Structure 1
Amino acid sequence: MATSLPLLALRTFVEVGQRGSIKAAAQALSVTSGAVSQQIRLLEDRVGMALFTRERSGLRLTEAGASVHPVLLQAFENMQQALQSLEAIKCRQTLTISTVATFAASWLVPRLGRFNLRHPHIEVRVEATSAVADMRRDRVDVALRHGLGNYPGLQVTRLMAPVMVPVASPALMAASPKITNPADCLEFALLHDADRTDWSLWLAAHDVAKDPRAERGTAFEDDFLLIRAAEAGQGLALVPREYALEEINAGRLVQVLDKPWPARFAYYVVTRQDALHREEVKAFVDWIMEEAQGVI
């Protein structure tokens, strides 16, 4: 049958064995010398043997005491380290961010290192999903969403409106007539986002008459897939400029016209109403708003 360990007595034994003095051990444990002597007597009574011998210079471990002292000393040091690890875990804060995969890959993740350097005690977990997060059920702290900002019951802050630009593969452009105005885009296969409205709105914004060709072509659920299709030469894609910067800079895509148009939707920072009272949430929201100022 298991019995409880006399941890206080064992701790006192370790301190006295290290210092060779009841008075010094009492100071280290912040107790009286009488309390130290009592704990040593309790331990010796329990094991049925003496653990110390008295000498003029103080106390010396007996052979039995000396045989177990290093093990107990290491055990208490291990416990101290374990306690420190638990305290460190308590101090470390975790933040779960939900956003769509394209925004995470093209905009958020390349900048996230700056947040980590500024707030090393906050661990960020990024969930890439196109589904609108249930902030409580999914344990999401901050959602970054592209839409009209209509999220009832939640705290909503406008982050930025991406600028939409038409892009295509260099090979497609080299083999096709030059595009000189927005209407020329209708001569190409148009690649669409899921709701098939961006091209129509972009063309209308540039005074191109309504044309059924603006709504034809392959549609993709995610902008990342849309960019890959454009890279493969399947047609023209209308995407946020930030998303395609890497491909444009690498020469895998070209911007076919310098006629950007702000999208009808914007990106929003969405949190629970009370979330900004938490230090880690406020730190992330402040940081991402600062980052967004550099691209607007």
Structure 2
Amino acid sequence: MGAVLPLLALRAFVETGRHGSLKAAAAVMGVTPGAISQQLKLLQARTGVVLFTRTPHGVALTPAGAQVHPALLRAFDQIQDSMATLEAIHARQTLTLSTVPSFAASWLVPRLGRFTERHPAIEVRVEASSALADLRRDRIDIAIRHGLGDYPGLVSRPLAAPVLLPVACPALLAEGPPIHSAVDCLQYPLLQDSDRSDWSLWFRALGLPPDPRVERGPAFDDDVLLIRAAEAGQGIALVRDLYVEAEVASGRLAVVLDHPWPTRFAYYAVTLPGAEENPAIAAFLRWLQEEVEAPTSAL
């Protein structure tokens, strides 16, 4: 027997034996009964074995045919199951997101269930990192970052501008020089986020020139640690207004400068050019904007 298996003829044999009818087998395979008959003749000629006998109601397996039919039936059923699995994998899309840990934990992850309910065929994978990933190299579909929206070679869509407040221990402010404008904050130690970006972005958004003092000071991976360091009088922290409501209300922290928030300093959804041609990416971006614009959604 040659190396090439007569798969079409074997399938004709399996379906004919399953249904006991050439016509029914032809309907399953989408061909004519004559084509089924031809394939069975080719298979019988190749094996030298008679596989069917005619009956008043159709055809029946011969003893030789009945001996091999169950194994071939299982084999083709397994092939069909494997094809269904492949089709399901193709239909199910994986969307990879990259965002900062604080945004993922406090805002994105609690809402992802609503996206999954609406788009069950799209699987979302979240990578939490403070650094802006290389979208092409790291195969990131959407990155959500806060900044000024300047991402060369990428498309950035503004989502919302959360308010970050410069706060410090009242005792530290009472003992130090007065603060009348943003540049006066540089007279104090600046408590930094993990990638030392928030202060520099804040000063840039306010139109201030670069200053090496902006990136100096201890850095903290977590906003809670940043707030505790400010309470201990270690310097000025730039943190979300929602995170320090209790501390400011109790007097443990004071707002250093009541300055209008620069709206350029916002959260952005960042993608490669043309990414919205992917239906999964387009669907997630639409959902993301809807969630941001919801009345009860505070970034």
Residues 194-237 of structure 1, C-alpha deviation per residue, up to 9 Å, x if partnerless? 25848x97xx9xxxxxxxxx989952153x2x423545875574
RMSD: 3.8
More moved, 101-110 vs 188-197:
188-197
**Residue equivalent to 2:34:** 34
Counterpart-to-counterpart distance in 2, 1:196 and 1:21: 74
- Shift in Å at residue 22 of structure 1? 2.2
In structure 2, runs of 5+ residues without a counterpart are: 178-187, 207-212
**Residue equivalent to 2:219:** 220
Q: Is the 8 A contact 2:220 2:226 kept in 1?
A: no
- Shift in Å at residue 239 of structure 1? 1.5
Q: Is the 8 A contact 2:198 2:238 kept in 1?
A: no
Scaled by the length of structure 2, the TM-score of the pair is 0.73
Write the mapping of 1:187-226 to structure 2, written as runs, cut at 5 A: 191-193=191-193, 194=196, 197=199, 219-220=218-219, 222=221, 224=222, 226=223
Task: Classify the secondary structure of the residue corresponding to 1:192.
Answer: strand
Q: Aligned AA for 1:117?
A: E
More moved, 24-33 vs 275-284:
24-33
Task: Classify the secondary structure of the residue corresponding to 2:219.
Answer: coil
Q: Is the 8 A contact 2:8 2:39 kept in 1?
A: yes
Counterpart-to-counterpart distance in 1, 2:20 and 2:31: 16
Task: Classify the secondary structure of the residue corresponding to 1:103.
Answer: helix
Counterpart-to-counterpart distance in 1, 2:75 and 2:175: 74
Is the counterpart of residue 295 in structure 1 residue 298 in structure 2?
yes
Write the mapping of 1:229-240 to structure 2, written as runs, cut at 5 A: 230=227, 234=232, 237-240=237-240
Q: Is the alpha carbon distance of 1:88 and 1:54 closer, same or farther for their aligned partners in structure 2, counting shifts above 3 Å? A: same
**Residue equivalent to 1:211:** none
Q: Aligned AA for 1:58?
A: G
Q: Is the alpha carbon distance of 1:196 and 1:272 closer, same or farther for their aligned partners in structure 2, counting shifts above 3 Å? A: closer
Is the counterpart of residue 161 in structure 1 residue 161 in structure 2?
yes
Q: Is the alpha carbon distance of 1:44 and 1:234 closer, same or farther for their aligned partners in structure 2, counting shifts above 3 Å? A: farther
**Residue equivalent to 1:60:** 60
**Residue equivalent to 1:44:** 44
**Residue equivalent to 2:210:** none
Residues 35-83 of structure 1, C-alpha deviation per residue, up to 9 Å, x if partnerless? 2222112212222221112233332111121122122112111111111
Give aligned pairs, total: 267
Identity %, equivalent residues: 49
**Residue equivalent to 2:185:** none
Q: Is the alpha carbon distance of 1:195 and 1:271 closer, same or farther for their aligned partners in structure 2, counting shifts above 3 Å? A: closer
**Residue equivalent to 1:94:** 94
Q: Is the 8 A contact 1:144 1:267 kept in 2?
A: yes
Q: Is the 8 A contact 1:275 1:281 kept in 2?
A: yes
